[in-house]
Amino acid sequence: EVEKDPEYKSPIVCVLGHVDTGKTKLLDKIRHTNVQTGEAGGITQQIGATMFPSEAINSLTRKLPNINVNILVPGLLIIDTPGHESFSNLRSRGSSLCDLAILVVDIMHGLEKQTLESLDILRKKNIPFIVALNKIDRMYQWKAMQDEAFMTTFKQQQEHTQEEFIRRAKEAVLAFAEQGLNAALYYENPDPEDYINLVPTSAITGEGIPDLLGMLVNISQGSLAHKIKYKPQLQATVMEVKVIEGHGTTIDVILANGVLKEDDKIVLAGFNGPIVTNIRALMTPMPLKEMRVKGEYLHHKKLYATMGAKISAQGLEESMAGSPLCVASNEDEIVDLCEEVQRDIAQVFTHINKKGKGVHVQASTVGSLEALLEFLKESKIPVCSVSIGPVHKKDIMKAQGQIEKLKRKEYATVLAFDVKITQEGQEYAEQVGVKIFAADIIYHLFDRFTEYVKQIRD
């Protein structure tokens, strides 16, 4: 483990874009993993983070014929976000700490609805980005050269395939122009300060990935050099809150600057007020492993930025994703820090019905819970209570109250997203007449409940 302050830290790179443009698949290709095929319905519904060490990047960027990439940063911390429309909260959160972004566009589809939404986020937050024009292998009679630099593979395509690419790239440039943005293929960019770089890629064949990584490193060490200098002042954000077998409720944290240590007294925002606790375990996934995939964790006494870390501690059950994470160095600081972390907690939780009328909602992470709540708010479905993790008898009892107190049968319902229903919970629900809707795809849950309410009301 590192013993002194590092000089450079890894830049934080966020991947944004419309659903199914290949964000997760691109990362899978670099990691040699298969995260995407393990996702329910093949859609991302959580924020993920992966550390890509410079050695892994170097082995790919060496293939670039005319670009020299001299890697100074320890690596890249890449944050994957969902493209599905329900998860704008996670796109926004994922981008909140990033230094740089990749906007993934499907070259066969051009700019789509969440591409525009992502563009909006990037412009509002003033985040520099490059565009991956992905799925180039889908062009007619494309001849793949696994993991090659784009120019190498482009030169050996047939003329009509090259022409198709040039036509589609021009269409993309036009579409960006319609959004008021200059864009150019990166190898013919007249002025990188003024024109967005388009990098052609394929997540299936790996073509163009050396170019993509090379660009990220060169931009980070060039125009963003001031951002990758390590700063000792702690800057960390809670990305997700979830129950992990053997660890209880844990928080996933992006450590953007500074250092975290085992036993540090941390302060973060909670549903019912600030949480003050001590770090029990400070963990990271293995390099090139995705934080959100269950696996082995490495334990650390001390972690320097940049890092995606998992923290276990007592009393994290009510943690709020999106909260800043602070460390109190003495007792006097605690009061101030409590105020600070609670200042801008998620607005959506203020819509939980105070009179206790509504359905009970349960989800695997606070991020997906927020997405669900936002949708239910728009659909005018009231929510009386929420919880994270598996559905137990005590959760069913919250919904049961709706039958007795309010005589509203439709609200005697538990909406369970991506969580297990315990057998005891299931049996109790059947016994008392509480309906459980469980799904691992967020919009299936909306659909089923709306149908059920219609049935009851007809």
Contact footprint for Na ion (CB under 5 A): 20, 42-43
| Tokens coding 104 | 């993934």
DSSP string, 203-245: TTT-TTHHHHHHHHHHHHHTTTGGGSB--SS-EEEEEEEEEET
Beta carbon of residue 285, minimum distance to ligand GTP (angstroms, whole number): 18
**Closest CB to Na ion among residues 114, 218:** 114
**How many angstroms separate the CA atoms of 385 and 370, rounded?**
13
Residue (264 or 418) nearer to Mg ion, CB: 418
Q: How far is the CB of 377 from Na ion (least distance, A)?
A: 25
Q: Residues 45 to 84: which contact ligand GTP by CB under 6 A?
A: 82-84
135 binds ligand GTP (CB under 6 A): yes
Pick from 138, 167, 231, 294: which binds ligand GTP (CB under 6 A)? Answer: 138
Q: How far is the CB of 237 from Na ion (least distance, A)?
A: 25
Residue length, the chain? 458
**CB 348, min distance to ligand GTP, A:** 21
How far apart are the C-alpha atoms of 51 and 57, rounded to whole Å?
11
Cβ atoms of residues 284 and 308 within 8 Å: yes
3-state secondary structure of 292: coil
Q: Alpha carbon of 419 to those of 88, 288, 314, 362: distances in Å? A: 21, 26, 21, 8
Nearest distance in Å: CB 214, Na ion? 26
Phi/psi region, residue 196 (left: phi>0; alpha: psi -120 to 50; beta: rest), is: beta
**Sign of the CA dihedral with 215 first, then 287, 17, and 9 last:** negative
Residues 194-253 that bind ligand GTP (CB under 6 A): 202-204
23 vs 360, beta carbon nearer ligand GTP: 23
C-alpha closest to that of 328 among 258, 281, 278: 278
Of these, 99, 112, 117, 137, which contacts ligand GTP (CB under 6 A)? 137
Minimum Å gap between C-beta 20 and Na ion is: 4
- CA angle (297 as vertex; 270, 2 as ends), nearest 5: 95
Is the CB of 202 or the CB of 400 nearer to ligand GTP? 202
Nearer to ligand GTP, 17 or 75 (CB): 17
Tokens at 379, concatenated: 């659909």
Residues that bind Mg ion (CB under 5 A): 23-24, 44
The reply on whether position 20 binds ligand GTP by CB under 6 A is yes
Work out how close the CB of 290 gets to Mg ion at its nearest, in angstroms, rounded to a whole number: 11
Q: Is 168 in the site for ligand GTP (CB under 6 A)?
A: no
CA–CA distance, 266 with 60 (Å, rounded to integer): 39
Q: Which is nearer to Mg ion, 16 or 359 (CB)?
A: 16
Question: What residues line the site for ligand GTP (CB under 6 A)?
Answer: 17, 19-25, 36, 42-44, 82-84, 104, 134-135, 137-138, 202-204
